[in-house]
Structure formats: structure tokens, C-alpha cells
Amino acid sequence: MKKLKFLLILVIPIVLLSTIFVKMPFLCTNAISSSAVGMCVLDKESGRILYSKNENKQLPMASTTKVVTAITVLNNCNNLDAYIQVDDSAIGVEGTSIYLRKGETIKVKDLLYGLMLRSGNDAATALACHVGGSVNGFAQLMNDLALKIGTKNSHFANPHGLDNKEHYTTAYDLALITAYALNNPIFKQIVSTKNYVIEATNKSDKRYLTNKNKLLSTLEGCCGVKTGFTSKAGRCLVSACERDNLTTVCVVLNCGPMFEESADLLNASFKDYESVKLLDKNKQIYNEYIINDNTGRLYLYSDEDFYYPLTDDEKDKIKIEYDVTLNDAKEGDEVGEIKIFLAEQLIKKAKLFTMNKIDKLIDSKTLQINELLWEEKVNEN
């Protein structure tokens, strides 16, 4: 059991501000580089940038656009098993295709697999017309979602990624959107699927799809997500990987060896960073007050977990501040907040609540706290 002591003199009502430093196991850190024009590796949970190069440079992104297309469809379509008739504008769209036919009826879900595994531009157009009424209407939905997620330097003009001067993103924005999309279990299932069969329709025999992302078969923990290429955008890849409670998203735009470099970047992220649990909603923060020879106890807790990726050099730079005001608080009352800093940068703020009634500690405004003992009670199972 770890106990940290601070000598404080405070007058009731209590306003408590204490600081502790969190010590954790060390990892080693290595430099990383990329030949991509734009690159970003992002921690999915916290959104922290782990590595980057020109991450805010606006670039064409080819079919990696379809990450945005897929999550926009999933956010706006309630019945993925519904059959829709393919819009005529989706027939014969240039580029990669699942060869949709005029008058064909097909499931929305099958179009999503055709979109993300085969990279069908016709599937993208069919989905856009179904969900947005038109390509332009759907593009507006894409832009609205991107802004909601927090992108700053992107604009989408179509659902497939064919070159258009009004169609661009950045490595960071695309990583941010992908991290958001991976929270959707259907999206994650689709992009991690290696092979899929679209059953025969009224106009076509079965279609057999194979995922173009070869990292799914060659990189441990890879869970997607999308390849892309046009002559203007170059080779582009969005990939993601899960290991040891850490999920990282990698975006390389205009990168010749996109698979090799993405694998190197993702492997490096797991070597250089550890996902550290800095908040545990199941762990109590325990206070013992010694007030005029009478001891009272207060248990505080946060109602959320928080993980953050840290390197070796950062482990002793984490600082946690508790800012708590006690005034006849009852069990379950919000009494303040906890702030977590990396060096001087605030990385997390969360509410603190009481786990027990504490009005017995506050029977006089003249009482003073002579000593405050903090200790974290950890399950010893």
C-alpha cells in the first residue's frame, strides 16, 4: 500500500489542491522517419500524435476517402440489410469497381463491403445516392461529420476519392476520422475482414471480394483499414493495429512503400509507447483527515477510465492535481475535479465524486486540518 503525505493548514469549508507524481515502468524510445509526403500516427483512445510529418499539409487522398464514406453511411443508415436499387449514376464510374449493373438491387451492407474491400467507386456512388440523395448531398454529410469530429483542413467533394481540386485532407485529419470510425463495431468488422462474398442479386452472380490491405495478413494485430491510389495522390494507406491495450492509427499519404513504412511506424509505436492507465473508475482515492485528534475518512472516485500513451522519458513527467471543495457533501456528490498533466500540458480533466457521507467532518468552520494523508487503495485479489 502506497501512502503520500502532505502537510497542509486549511480552514473549513475545505478547498483542497494537492499534487502527486505518478511513477510507471519505463520503455525505450527510438526516432522514426517516413518518405511519405504526409504522415501521422495517432493513439486511437486519447488522440495523441505519436509520430508525424507534414501532418497538417492538405493533400489528395485517393480511395482512403472511403473511410469517411463508410462511417458517414453507418451514421445515417439504420437498416444495413435493406435492399436498394442502384442509382443509374453509379453504373460505369471510372476506376476500381464491383461492376454494379443497371436496375440491380443489392444490400447496403454488401455495398459497404464492396466499398472497403474491393474499393468499388460504383459502390461508393450507389451508397452516396442512397444516403445523401446525390453525390453532392452526400459530400455535404461527409463534410458535416468531419467538422463534428474535429478536422480543420479537409474538404470532401465525392465519396470515392477520384481526383478533384476541392477534395483533400491531411494525414492528421484522416487519422482523427479513422480513430472515430473504429469506435463503430460494424465499421471495424468490415475493414478487418479479409474475404467476403456478396450473394447473387437480380443482375449478378456471386461476387468474391478480397481485401487489398495486405497488412491484415502480415502485421500482428492489424485491424484495417483502407488503401488508395491515383496518379495525383500517389500511394496512400490508412492502417490500424491493436496490441497490449493500445490501438494506433497510421496514415501515410503519397508514400511509395506504403505497406512497409506503415508496418514500421505501427511496430515502432508499440515499442516506444505504453498505454498507461492514469484514471481507474474502479479505484478509490482515500483521504484520512486528522482533525483535533478526531479522524475522519473521505473516499473519492472518478467515474471514468483514462489511458494515455507514454514513452520512457515521459513516465516521471506525469503530474496529477486534485481540486476538491467539501461542503456538507453527501455520498455520490460531485466535489471537484482531477487534472492530469504531461509536463506542463493538460491532457485530461475529469470529475471527482464522494463515495461516502462526510458531513461529520464539517461540524465547525474553525476546525483546521493539521495533516492530510493520501493513499490509493488497490484491489489485492
Residue 362 near residue 326, CB atoms below 8 Å: yes
Whether 273 and 247 have beta carbons less than 8 Å apart is answered as: no
Q: Report which residue type is found at 234.
A: G
Residue 104's beta-bridge partner residues?
Answer: none
Domains in the chain (CATH in brackets) are 2-25+278-377 (no CATH), 59-239 (3.40.710.10)
pLDDT value at residue 335:
82
Catalytic one among 34, 52, 109, 119? 119
Of 210, 164, 212, nearest to 61 by C-alpha is 164
Surface-to-core class of residue 283, CB atoms within 10 Å of its CB (0-12 exposed, 13-18 middle, 19+ buried): middle
CA–CA distance, 224 with 211 (Å, rounded to integer): 9
**Which pLDDT does position 256 carry in this prediction?**
97
All three cell numbers of 62: 485517393
Q: In this structure, are residues 124 and 228 in contact, taking their beta carbons and an 8 Å threshold?
A: no
- The predicted model gives 327-334 an average pLDDT of 75
Residue 77 sits at the vertex; the CA angle it makes with 253 and 249, to the nearest 5 degrees, is: 25
Tell me, rounded to whole angstroms, the distance of Cα 219 from its chain centroid.
20
Give the pLDDT confidence of 45-63 residue by residue, as tens digits. 999 999 999 999 999 999 9
CB 67 within 8 A of CB 181: yes
List 34, 63, 154, 275, catalytic entry:
63
pLDDT > 70: percent of the chain: 81
Residue in this structure with the C-alpha cell 449514376, named with its chain if needed: 89
Helix and strand totals (H; E) in the chain: 8, 21
Please state which of the ranges 14-18, 33-37, 281-285 shows the lowest mean pLDDT: 14-18
80: exposed, middle or buried (Cβ count in 10 Å: 0-12, 13-18, 19+): middle
Q: Kindly indicate the confidence band of residue 134, based on its pLDDT and cuts at 50, 70 and 90.
A: very high
Strand partners, 277: 307
Instruction: Point out the catalytic residue in the list 66, 109, 188, 348.
Output: 66
The C-alpha atoms of residue 65 and residue 63 are separated, in whole angstroms, by 5
Sign of CA dihedral 188, 148, 95, 130: positive
pLDDT at 83 over 70: yes
Whole-angstrom Cα distance, residue 299 to residue 357?
9
Residue 371, pLDDT > 50, answer: no
Do the beta carbons of residue 67 and residue 74 sit within 8 Å? Answer: no
pLDDT digits (tens, 9 = 90+) for 267-316: 999 999 999 999 988 787 766 554 444 555 667 888 899 999 999 899 88
| 66 belongs to the catalytic site | yes
Query: Considering the entire predicted model, what is its pTM?
Result: 0.83
User: Residue 13: what pLDDT?
Assistant: 40
In the sheet that 294-301 helps form, which strands lie side by side, from edge to edge?
Answer: 2-6, 371-377, 284-291, 294-301, 345-354, 334-342, 318-326, 14-21
